[in-house]
Structures are given as C-alpha cells and as structure tokens.
Amino acid sequence: MEEENAKLRAEVKELRARLRALEKPAISNGAGAASDVRDAAPASAAASVNGGGGSCPAAAPDFLSPHGLSKSQAERYSRQLVLPAFGAAAQARLCASSALIVGCGGLGAPAALYLAAAGVGCLGLVDRDAVEISNLHRQIIHSEDRAGVHKATSAAAAVAALNSGVRVEPFLNGLRPGNAAEMVMSYDVIIDASDNAPTRYLLNDACVAAGRPLVSAAAVGTDGQLTVYCHGEDGPCYRCLFPEPPAPGNCARCADAGVLGPVPGVMGVLQALEAIKLLTGIGKPLTRQLLLFDALSGRFTTVKLRARSPGCAACGGAAAGSAGQQNGAAEPDGAGAGDGGEGGGRGRGRMRPADVAAFDYTAFTGQSPDDGPPPPLRVLPPEQRLAAAELKLRLEARGANASSSGGGGGGSGDGAWVLVDVRPKEQFDVMSLPGAVNMPFVTPESFIDRHLPQLLRLAHGGGAAAPHQGGGAAASAAAPAAAAAPPRPVYVMCRRGNHSQLAVRALREAGLAECYDLVGGIQAWAQEVDPALPIL
C-alpha cells in the first residue's frame, strides 16, 4: 500500500509540473491547434490587477483535470467545457493565452468583457482618453461614477470585478510608434478597437512586425464591419487592402456622424469571438473575409477579400515601399519578425520593429491619433469673425431676443439680421437658436448653389437680390438687380466654427459682403452665453 501511495504522490507531482508548463500561453497557428507559447507575461504593463478564481492560478489547485483546469475553473466555465465544439482542451488554451485590446470604447468595451468572462488568461487594455457621459450609451464597460476616470483604468476595474482570475494590464499612455511593436509582441492576439486611421496603420504594422493576428472592426451610424488581418498563409494585412490612407474628410467619427449604441456592441462581441477562435484553434477565423452588418435590416453579409499583396509596403517582401522608406527605414535582410508563424502561421515579410518606430503615421494619414474634435480652422481674418458674446450684443442691439431654446425658427428675428445654422438637420433638430435658418453645409460649391439664392433674398428683406460675382448658375439667376436698402448682416454658425468659416468665405466670394462667422460655433455659444444648451 505504501508503495502505491508513493507512486500516486509521484504522479501528482508530475501533473503539477505539467500544469506549471501549461500556464505559459499558447497560440493557434490558424490550423486548428496550438503551436507556440509565450515565455512570460508582458513586462511593459503600466499596472496589473491580479486575482485568483477564474483562470491560470499561480498555486497548484486541489483538483486537476487532464487539461490542467482547476476545480474553480471547471465550475466557472462548465457551459463552455461541455460544448462539443469547444471543450476542456480549448478552455485550457484560452486560460493560458493573452489578448491586447487597443481602444476601450464602443468596440473594446464588449470585447474586453466577453473575453474576460470566457476566461482569457491575460488582457491588455490600451487607451489614453477619459470616460465622458456621452460615451455611456455604447461603452458599457464604464459607468456614471467613473466619468473623468481614465478609460483603461475604468475598463480594468470592470474586468477585475467580472473575473478576478484574469490578469489585467492597463496601458494609460496609448499606443505609439516607439512602443507598439514591443507591446504587441507580448500578446497572442491583438484586437483593433480604435477609431482613427493613424492607429489602424500603426497597429497593423506592429502586428506584421511581431507576427501576430489582428482582429479589426469598425462601427459608425448603423453599420459595422469585421475581419482578421495578418493571419494565414495568404491573409492580407491592412496595408494590402488600403496602401494609401483615406482623405481626412472621408473618415467619419462617431462624435460627428453618430452611432446607434448596440451596433459597436455587436461588432465588439464578434471581435471577442474571433479572438477566442484564434486563441483556441476552434472554428474558422474571418481570414480573407469581411463581415458586414446592417443594423436597420438585421442583415449580415460576408464578402471575400483579396489575398496578401506581394508588393505590400508592410508584409509583401517586395521592393521597398512607402512604409519602409518614408523616414529612411532600412530594408530588412530577410523576412520580418514572426518567422515560424506565431499567430500568423508564417513570417509576414519585411516590416520590422525599427521600421514601425521610425514611421510618421500622423504625417502619412494627415490625421491625429487623438480621439478629439478636428483642429480649429483659421481661414477668415479676425474682422470677419465674432465671438459668442459679441454676436449676442449685435443681435440684442438690433432688437433681437438672443435667449436660446430647443428647436429652430424659420425666420430671421425681427428682420434686422439673418442667422444661418449650417449644421446637419439632425443636429439642428436637437437644439438651435431662435430665428436661425438651417442651411446644411457639405462643400462650398454645393452650399452656394443650393443656398445662396435664398440667402440673398433674406439679406435684402425678401426682395431683389444684390449683385455678386461667382457662385454658379443658381446664384447668378438669383440676383437680377441690386436692392435699394443696405443688406442685412448674415451671421453663420456651425458646431465648432469650422464649416461656418468655409461657408462665410464662399458667401463673401459670391458677393455677400456683410457676412460673419461665430468663433467656436454653437458649442462656444453654449459655454459662454447660454449654459442651458446641451453640448453635443
């Protein structure tokens, strides 16, 4: 009996040693089985939130499954363990894996919660913004009492509260060219939950250099899309499909274009699902496939993407392209980082960490990686611009009631001035100043062609329009003769004071001389004149 007990103790000791080995994270190579392991947890984390009850405990458990799961893990994840398509082996791989989420907003929030709930071993959270109340309709990982708190810190607290067994590593300073490749190398799967072009290109290049798969999604308005980059033998990277960045004006932000809250929620949950498939080897990831979601019709559509481009500046391995040459980055001697297939199943070409660090992504895209409003324009001379307080005095001096209310008027006060609001109708309908006329601005040309005739009539009391030069055929037809009375001043406002400047410049070039814009737009009016107005 003593001999049998000794043998059992030896077997238990061996199993515990195997458990410690299994605690090193594994990553699927895209072929359905784990192939590589990480040597250690990320060393560059800004902070760590550790617990012990959900996944990868440091001490040997009192119960050991054949796959190394503890009693608490087996009970917690039992609904996944009994799933034929998943099972204990996949759960063990998930508990030993890591994922990095870049962006703790509308996409990153559900992705982080579902990965933590499913039992991922380590979760990195990258964001440098603070929680705002306007985030909460879609960024469900945050709460009202965390307004003003760093998003990465807020998200880390929510993850720790949901699953204390997940190691959480928040990065408060964001992703930068100097730290991106090193940060990405420390994780098995990367989730792009960002919302700007510089970060998307930076994260793509870092994944190419590190040989990590990239789960990328986007959600604006009522539409979403999802795919997996840098994975599989012929899977493209982001630069393969978009070698040149979109024009800054074509990049819609949720703050400007709007977004229906559940839409990024759907896409973020799907990002978590793709990450789980990559980390465990189950199912078929969305490599070379783009999933499109139309929320209003409830329709999902999948389209096939072209294969990896041999001439890609990041992963192609052909002659040097813009990504390698812009800042004098040297051409690698051989294939890029990740040879052997960590995450991608093969080396990803010639982009190296040094290339990523040297590249100027802001200059390349013409955009800032900061999640803030567009920079203020300076296209008008100071004498053609009015501060909110000065505009209020002018309106009052001409007998207008300058107090604000919801909705918009269709006239122009007492007839002594014309107040034009060039914001989109949806924003105008939320709130506007009394007497304002809504004339949405898209481009200077379309604004003149569509609105100049009406503006000329309003400026001259609804009678004959004044002479002008330029403005297109529609504008020319609107000005048959000059009016006897001097024109009324036209005051133009928008959301922040950018489009209003472009509109005023176009109107002045068309001959409407008494035209001025509101500095800072209706946001400045709400801050300086009428705090009762909501700031959108």
Catalytic residue set? 254, 494
**What is the Cβ-side half-sphere exposure of residue 33, based on CA atoms within 13 angstroms?**
1
Residue 257 has which token pair?
């274009």
**What is the Cβ-side half-sphere exposure of residue 259, based on CA atoms within 13 angstroms?**
27
**What is the Cβ-side half-sphere exposure of residue 353, based on CA atoms within 13 angstroms?**
13
Residue 6 CB burial class (10 angstroms; 0-12, 13-18, ≥19): exposed
Tell which residue, 346, 280, 287, has the closest CA to residue 32: 280
Cβ pair 172, 128 in contact under 8 A: yes
CA 166 from chain centre, in angstroms, equals: 24
What is the C-alpha to C-alpha distance for residues 237 and 228, in angstroms, rounded to an integer?
A: 8
Tell which residue, 289, 114, 108, has the closest CA to residue 195: 108
- What value does the CA radius of gyration of the chain take, rounded to a whole number of Å? 29
Tell which residue, 142, 161, 132, 126, has the closest CA to residue 46: 126
What is the C-alpha to C-alpha distance for residues 329 and 355, in angstroms, rounded to an integer?
A: 5
Cβ pair 449, 472 in contact under 8 A: yes
Enumerate the known binding-site residues: 106, 127, 134-138, 151, 195-196, 237, 240, 312, 315
